[in-house]
Structure 1
Amino acid sequence: MNFDSSIYDGFGVTQEDVDAYVYLDIGLYGVDITRISSYLLVQLASAWKHRTLNTYSITDVIQSLEGVRQRARPPKAKPFKGVALSGLWKVHFVNPRFFVRNVYNEWGMFHENTQKFVALCARVAEAERQEPLPLGWQGQLAHEYVIGGYENRARKGKLTGEWLIFGIHEGKNIYLTLCQHSSGPEEDEEIQQALRGLCGSEFPELFSAIAQQGA
């Protein structure tokens, strides 16, 4: 595999690292590597080498979408709705590094007025008033906030992570990149331009088809 050297920038890997990852990692078993972008392979090889992400949480999604393996809860792929990324698809992957984010999401900690957290505190305070715990209310609050919050999120099937972005051309998935969630149209446009720059020459038919859809 011969990649454009610029796609290695900032990832701390070489072509030899990428080749080793592709050869050794069982997470890519049964997957057509030619439909995975060189950039995504660099992202995966970097996570594999530096252990910044559990790559199986990503390749498990790919294998499921490809029909290589079955999951108890299949990944839910959705098309992008915004104009900039129209024609592309996204699917979440969940990783232990997103644990805190999921807990925050469950209690609405990114909102200025989080009524769910207020209600949790009131519930723990009332339980403590009725039957004080030997070691105090702090442990109960921490347990319900962290463990209970994550379990609630998982039970509802709302665990979040980051995006695996892919396109579909001639009925086959073409996997492009891992990406953080965007916060609006401006970031969507930035993602679209980056994808064209990083993957456009590798999959020209896909991006040509997407451009025609948006015309």
Structure 2
Amino acid sequence: MDSERMVRVSFDREQIKALKLHATRGRPYWDRISVALAFRLLDTSDPYFSYFAVLDELDYMEGIRPASSTKAEEQFRRKPLHPLWHKHFFLPKHVSRNVDVRWNLLDGGNKDLTKMLGEVTENFGEDPEVWTNYLTHRLVVQGFEERARRGLTGDWIIFGKHDGKNFYLDLAVHEEGDEHGAAALLQRIRAGSQAEFPFFFE
């Protein structure tokens, strides 16, 4: 966006509270999300994004929801993002990524893929119609189900822990957290959260 067209906006405390309560649909942790995250949850410009997917994971981390279908939260191991944490949230657009992870498709496959292809060939290799249908089902549907049992991957909720509580700072995609994007991601998180939660950036 053209910086000359940007407008500075300020909110008083009651407006910020109302914004966060609306973004979290009145959840009890509303005061521990950043304004930046509140705006992301309320942004409707991406038709593939669902704030419910994020709220489900926040509810799980807060003990409101009993289970999560995604991988367990992890602390970043390396600077500059350490000591912050991330928790995956899942959207339908992440199905193909999870199928890829299950079979390691982008890196030439894994032993499970080799075994599965051998079984399909052995059992259905003489019947092309059955072979293609079964392979598709086994690769995509069952592959996704197997990955789900281990914990789905997706995009990230970035958060920190302070005084025994989680503080939810922003959302990010995997690529932002790699060695080339981590510094820029931290800068974005700091810009959106430092004023409210300075103890993560001292």
Q: TM-score band, normalised by the shorter chain?
A: 0.7 to 0.9
- Aligned partner of 1:164: which letter? I
Among residues 146, 156, 161, which one is paired with 1:152 in the alignment? 146
**Inter-partner Cα distance in structure 2 for 1:161 and 1:73:** 11
Among residues 159, 168, 172, which one is paired with 1:175 in the alignment? 168
Matched, 1:139 2:136: no
**Inter-partner Cα distance in structure 2 for 1:122 and 1:75:** 30
Count of residues in correspondence between the two structures: 189
8 Å Cα contact 2:71/2:152 also seen in 1: no
Once the two structures are TM-superposed, the CA of residue 75 in structure 1 deviates from its matched residue by 6.7
Matched, 1:161 2:161: no
- Aligned partner of 1:177: which letter? D
8 Å Cα contact 1:35/1:175 also seen in 2: yes
SS of the equivalent of 1:110 reads helix
> Hey, what does 2:56 align to over in structure 1?
60
**Inter-partner Cα distance in structure 1 for 2:192 and 2:27:** 25
8 Å Cα contact 2:156/2:171 also seen in 1: yes
**Inter-partner Cα distance in structure 2 for 1:89 and 1:21:** 21
8 Å Cα contact 2:69/2:152 also seen in 1: no
> Hey, what does 1:40 align to over in structure 2?
37
**Inter-partner Cα distance in structure 2 for 1:158 and 1:193:** 29
Matched, 1:29 2:23: no
TM-score in terms of structure 1 length: 0.74
Once the two structures are TM-superposed, the CA of residue 66 in structure 1 deviates from its matched residue by 1.9
Q: In structure 2, do the counterparts of structure 1 residues 167 and 145 end up closer, same or farther at CA, with 3 Å as the change threshold?
A: same
**Inter-partner Cα distance in structure 2 for 1:203 and 1:33:** 14
8 Å Cα contact 1:31/1:68 also seen in 2: no
Matched, 1:95 2:91: yes
SS of the equivalent of 2:106 reads coil
Matched, 1:123 2:119: yes
Once the two structures are TM-superposed, the CA of residue 161 in structure 1 deviates from its matched residue by 0.7
8 Å Cα contact 2:60/2:67 also seen in 1: yes
**Inter-partner Cα distance in structure 2 for 1:149 and 1:113:** 13
> Hey, what does 2:189 align to over in structure 1?
195
Structure 1 unaligned residues grouped into runs of 5+? 8-15, 209-215
**Inter-partner Cα distance in structure 2 for 1:114 and 1:69:** 34
The alignment yields a C-alpha RMSD, in angstroms, of 3.0
SS of the equivalent of 1:137 reads helix
**Inter-partner Cα distance in structure 1 for 2:93 and 2:109:** 26
8 Å Cα contact 1:82/1:185 also seen in 2: no
8 Å Cα contact 2:19/2:38 also seen in 1: no
Q: In structure 2, do the counterparts of structure 1 residues 170 and 91 end up closer, same or farther at CA, with 3 Å as the change threshold?
A: same
- Aligned partner of 1:188: which letter? A
Among the aligned pairs, what percent are the same residue? 28
8 Å Cα contact 1:37/1:176 also seen in 2: yes
**Inter-partner Cα distance in structure 2 for 1:128 and 1:145:** 14
